[in-house]
Amino acid sequence: MENSQKPEEILLDINNLTFSFHTYGGVVKAVRGVSFQVKKGEIVGIVGESGCGKSVTAQCILKLNPEPPGFFEDGSIRYKGEEIVTKSDREMRKIRGMEIGFIFQDPMTSLNPTMRVGKQIEEVFVGRPEVSKAEAKRRAIEMLKLVGISDAERRYSQYPHELSGGMKQRVMIARALVGKPGIIIADEPTTSLDVTIEAQILDLLKQLQKELGTSIIFITHDLGVIAKLCDRVLVMYGGKVMERGSVRDIFYRTGHPYTHGLMHSVPRLDISKDTELEPIEGTPPDLFAPPAGCPFAARCEYAMKVCYEAQPPEFPLEEGHASACWLKHPDAPPVEWADGGKGGEA
């Protein structure tokens, strides 16, 4: 959908990515034909509920999903034009940390408890002869300062249990950034933090992104975070992309019943407190046997016959905005979202 962009600006190009896991119960199709691009310096959000395939998609980019049982069924991931899917573990090590950094969800368990935090940041440079030990240490301390940790020299030689949760996540960010990667993948980095710390971490990420020009792929289930941080958004469901577009497109020109449902199941300050939240009825699809049609059809109040029979292609709505919903087919009947007129106001 982003054909208007010049090709050299595209850092990451994912095309028809399909990733599955062998399990005792059969093959789970976790990611089913996801395509998107990340341009230099932009923040792409991926939003969806638990089990929609967003984390698996993110980990595919660095090949962090265990293989086996996981395996690439189809598709390609190109970073700066280089194919990642076919790379060996040894080749991937050059990309991990140095080209693409990864921030995990839970800072409490994502740091090694028996290693000083400074050493853990420096580890990115181990086995890379171009960076000397002294240089690695200098950059680690510089990075600790950059992520807003005061007294960085002292913190450098402390252990994770001596830091607070927010500080640990700052260390994780420093760790992801120290190799000066082109892209950072942040997999729900604020989910396990309390809201005040969450706001600080989000501000930090946005500020660092501006200073360093790094692209960020931000994975979350929180639409509020998406609105605050991202340039573009992918809404995922059942291993597929339901809707994509700019933050404005997604929030004000919602083009998919699932996105609509997501937004109306979140409490808001600007609606009367007597208004009940509208949960999305039903449960996510069984990825052992994904439905033939749209994965959301069974829970969708607008579902038509075709929705159960054929998977909808992505219908372009505006520039850079597309929705995989049969309602957007030119022959489909026009639909007004049943939301009491609250669908798209500012």
The contacts of residue 86 (CB under 8 Å, 6+ apart) are none
Per CB under 8 A, 89 contacts other proteins: yes
Q: Looking at 12-20, 123-131, 203-211, 235-243, which segment touches other proteins (CB under 8 A)?
A: 123-131
Window 326-345: residues binding other proteins (CB under 8 A): none
Member of 22, 80, 94, 154 binding other proteins (CB under 8 A):
94
Member of 47, 124, 141, 235 binding other proteins (CB under 8 A):
124
Member of 5, 9, 83, 126 binding other proteins (CB under 8 A):
126
Per CB under 8 A, 55 contacts other proteins: no
- Residues 59-88: x where in contact with other proteins by CB under 8 A, - otherwise, as a string: ---x-x------------------------
Instruction: Take residue 346 and report the two structure tokens written for it.
Output: 């500012």
Q: What type of residue is 275? A: T
CA torsion 241-243-247-251 (nearest 10°) is: -130
Member of 8, 162, 203, 318 binding other proteins (CB under 8 A):
162
Nearest CA to 263 among 182, 342, 157, 180?
Answer: 342
The dihedral region occupied by 148, where left means phi > 0, alpha psi between -120 and 50, and beta the remainder, is left
Nearest CA to 220 among 251, 192, 248?
Answer: 192
Per CB under 8 A, 113 contacts other proteins: yes
Member of 77, 111, 147, 247 binding other proteins (CB under 8 A):
111
Nearest CA to 185 among 77, 65, 58?
Answer: 58
- DSSP string covering 322-343: EE--GGGSTTSPP----STT-S
Q: Which residues bind other proteins (CB under 8 A)?
A: 62, 64, 89, 92-98, 101-102, 104, 106, 109-115, 123-124, 126-127, 159, 161-162, 172, 175, 179
